[in-house]
Amino acid sequence: MLDQLPIPVYKCDTQGFVVSYNKAALELWGMEPKPGESKYGGAWKVFDADGKALTSDHCPMARCLAEKIPVNGGQVIIQRPDGSKRRVQTNPVPVFDEAGEFTGAINTLVDITETIQNEEKQAMLATIVDTSDDAIVSKTLQGIITSWNRAAERLFGYSEEEAIGRHISMIIPSERLAEEDYIIGEIVAGKKVDHFETVRITKAGLKIPLSICVSPVIDKNGFIIGASKIARDISDRKKAEQQKSEFLSLTSHELKTPLTSIAGYLQILDKVTHEESSRKFIHKARQQVQRLTQLVADLLDVSKIEAGKLHLSKEIFDINKVLRETTELVQYTQQTHRIKVFARDKPTLIYGNPERIEQVFINLLTNAVKYSGDSNEIIVSQEHRNNHVYIRVIDFGIGIPANKLNEIFTRFYRVDEFNRHMPGLGIGLYISRQIIEKHEGDIWAESELGKGSIFYVKLPVVTQDIPLENTAIDIINKEKTELNERHDLR
Ligand code: ADP
């Protein structure tokens, strides 16, 4: 019957010799005890709880037999012949027969190796959490804070006692409360929220920029029971970014004025110089000044975007006309390439800023030329579908690796390994995306390395039933054109 028991049990006689044991005890010891030889237990070697070798006379079973009293809750480490060690709790109790005669002791052993390992692991994790420089906070799915480490105390100003049990909204600024719904929504769906940049509020009312990562907390049955959040203070980084953007804005402003003067002087020189070789140099100098002016304008745009100050005045205009004109312009300056346009003649009206849309097309077309490799053909097409206009700029050039297709739209990003020798700062597509997004549109790229790329621009078109405010703008636009035409006639 004892063999059915999952817990190791054995009996020693009054001398301490092992007289009987069950299967679980055998498994624990990893060997058979020797009759008349194994004393106080069947283990190969025994150590105390601190790992020091234990002489058999000092083990709990020896004490129980000597004093004839139960010795509960002692801990020993036993080593098996294969070298593996198990930590066990020992509970020897003296045994008396019916006549009250002392006959020995029975010991039940509880293997606590895993429990202790888990406790040690927990303690180690707790130390890591406690000494982390990042705030680590956990909460239930209802947003109630369940843990709050020391870095969280330092960052948010609330002590652990103050924070636990309160709702996480205590550190969320009122205008950002909706973020919590989004985060919990992702967590409930079993997803992680990675490097989410936001702002939280301290006990003293100070707003701090943070980068947070939130992961679901899953119980042993696999149920999502809460969320754990790691928050990193990014105030220094934000400050550095702001300084960089201020520097960018300042220098581009400062460069603009002398550049305009140089351009003006070169224009005058061009007019008054008649000697052919000098004119050639003036022409080249003017081209370079124009490039520099464009670069400065782009840098200025980046700093405007960063400061959230890229404002566009909008009107209703024909995007086909802008597309045709831009293509003609680029074709005129890039005579080495052939740009074919497939666009319908009928106007396609969109509501936006024609100069900015032109800027996007110029960027896409000059990129198509710049990265065309050995090919010299570029195709531009326009399609009208589901109240949207789709413009495609297709080249047969060097192409873009698939994992870079989204990154090329980020600030200062260039696919370095392919275009180190090409001029550029890697901001054209970044600005283009911002412009298109400000038109409720979309811009993306498809590509095959070595075969070419397709850049798409998708924009909403103005439909027949123009909203009231657009109708008014439309009328104003029309009036403006008529006025200009009348002015031209005079
Ligand atoms: P720039 O051309 O000044 O580097 P952009 O922002 O216009 O900056 O483009 C970012 C990067 O995307 C380029 O450096 C280039 O690596 C890649 N790229 C853009 N257009 C194309 C294209 N048509 N073919 C291949 N690569 C391109």
pLDDT tens-digit profile of 376-393?
999 999 998 889 999 999
pLDDT of residue 490: 39
The CA distance from 224 to 215, in Å, is 10
Report the residue among 370, 408, 417, 446 best suited for mutation to probe ligand 1: largest number of ligand atoms under 8 A from its CB.
Answer: 408
Closest CA to 113 of 155, 79, 69: 79
Per-residue pLDDT, averaged over 81-86, amounts to 94
* The two structure tokens encoding residue 94: 């003296």
Domain residue extents for the chain: 2-117, 132-233, 238-306, 315-469
User: Does the Cβ of 428 fall within 6 Å of ligand 1?
Assistant: yes
Residue whose pair of structure tokens reads 């603009």 in the numeric block: 256
Q: Are 2-117 and 132-233 the same fold in CATH?
A: yes
Q: Round to whole Å and give the CA distance between 40 and 59.
A: 8
* Ligand 1 atom 16 nearest Cα: 415
408 lines ligand 1 (CB under 6 A): yes
Residue 477 pLDDT exceeds 50:
yes
CA 309 to centroid of ligand 1, rounded, Å: 25
pTM: 0.59
Looking from the CA of residue 414, the nearest atom of ligand 1 is 14
Q: How many CB atoms lie within 10 A of CB 271?
A: 9
Class in CATH terms, 315-469:
alpha beta
Give the residue-averaged pLDDT of 169-198: 92
84: number of Cβ within 10 Å: 10
The residues facing 230 across adjacent strands are 136, 213
Q: Would you place residue 303 in the very low, low, confident or very high pLDDT band (cuts 50, 70, 90)?
A: confident
Gap between the Cα atoms of 81 and 427, Å rounded:
69
Decide whether any atom of ligand 1 lies within 6 Å of the 299 Cβ: no
**Kind and range of the H or E run holding 298:** helix 276-306
Query: pLDDT-based confidence at 355, cuts 50/70/90?
Result: very high
Query: Residue 469's pLDDT is what?
Result: 46
Task: Give the residue ranges of DSSP H helices in 103-230.
Answer: 113-131, 150-156, 160-163, 177-188
Torsion sign, CA atoms 313, 318, 320, 326: negative
CA-CA distances (angstroms) from residue 280 to 291, 324, 347? 17, 30, 41
Answer whether 347's CB lies under 8 Å from 384's CB.
no
Tell which atom from ligand 1 comes closest to the C-alpha of 398: 25
Output the CA–CA distances (angstroms, integers) from residue 106 to 2, 20, 21, 372, in the order listed: 12, 9, 9, 88
Burial class (CB in 10 A: 0-12, 13-18, 19+), 53: exposed
Q: How many residues does the chain have?
A: 490
Distance 456 CA to ligand 1 centre (A): 14
d(CA 197, CA 370) in angstroms, rounded, equals: 35
**Which two tokens mark 31?**
């060997």
Return the closest-CA partner of residue 445 out of 396, 485, 482, 393: 393
The predicted pLDDT at position 463 comes to: 77
Categorize the per-residue pLDDT at 105 as very low, low, confident or very high, splitting at 50, 70 and 90.
Answer: very high
Q: Is the pLDDT confidence value at 349 over 90?
A: yes
In a 3-state reduction of DSSP, which class is residue 92? strand
Confidence of residue 244 (pLDDT cuts 50, 70, 90): confident
Determine the residue of 366, 367, 377 to mutate for testing ligand 1's pocket, defined as the one with the most ligand atoms within 8 A of the Cβ atom.
367
**SS3 of 428, please?**
helix
How far, in Å, CA of 23 to CA of 10, rounded?
10
Residue 483, helix vs strand vs coil: helix
For residue 381, report the distance from its CA to the centre of ligand 1, in Å: 20
CA pair distance 458, 445, nearest whole angstrom: 11
Does the pLDDT of residue 250 top 90, yes or no?
A: no
Q: How many CB atoms are located within 10 Å of the residue 429 CB?
A: 22
The class level of CATH for 238-306 reads mainly alpha
363 in contact with ligand 1, CB cutoff 6 A: yes
Taking the centre of ligand 1 as the mean of its atom positions, its distance from the CA of residue 457, in whole angstroms, is 15
Over residues 383-411, the mean pLDDT reads: 93
Q: Which CATH superfamily is domain 2-117 in?
A: PAS domain (3.30.450.20)
- Name the residue with the closest Cα to ligand 1, atom 25: 399
Q: How far is the CA of 437 from the centre of ligand 1 (A)?
A: 19
Does the structure show a pLDDT above 90 at 253? no
Residue 85 has pLDDT above 50, yes or no: yes
How many other C-beta atoms are found inside a 10 Å radius of the C-beta of residue 35? 9
How far does residue 291's CA lie from ligand 1's centre (Å)? Answer: 17
Beta strand spans in 288-398 (E): 315-318, 338-342, 349-352, 377-385, 388-395
pLDDT at 416: 73
Residue 66: strand, helix, or coil: helix
* CA 393 to chain centroid: 31
- At the fourth CATH level, the homologous superfamily of domain 132-233 is PAS domain (3.30.450.20)
* Residues 216, 464: Cα–Cα separation, whole Å: 48
Ligand 1: does its nearest atom lie under 6 Å from the Cβ of 372? no
pLDDT at position 248:
83
Each residue's pLDDT tens digit, 121-171: 999 998 999 899 999 999 999 999 999 999 999 999 999 999 999 999 999
Residue 427 pLDDT exceeds 50: yes
CA–centroid distance, 320 to ligand 1, in Å, is: 24
* CA of 378 relative to ligand 1 center, distance in Å: 15
Please tell me if the CB atom of residue 415 comes closer than 6 angstroms to any atom of ligand 1: yes
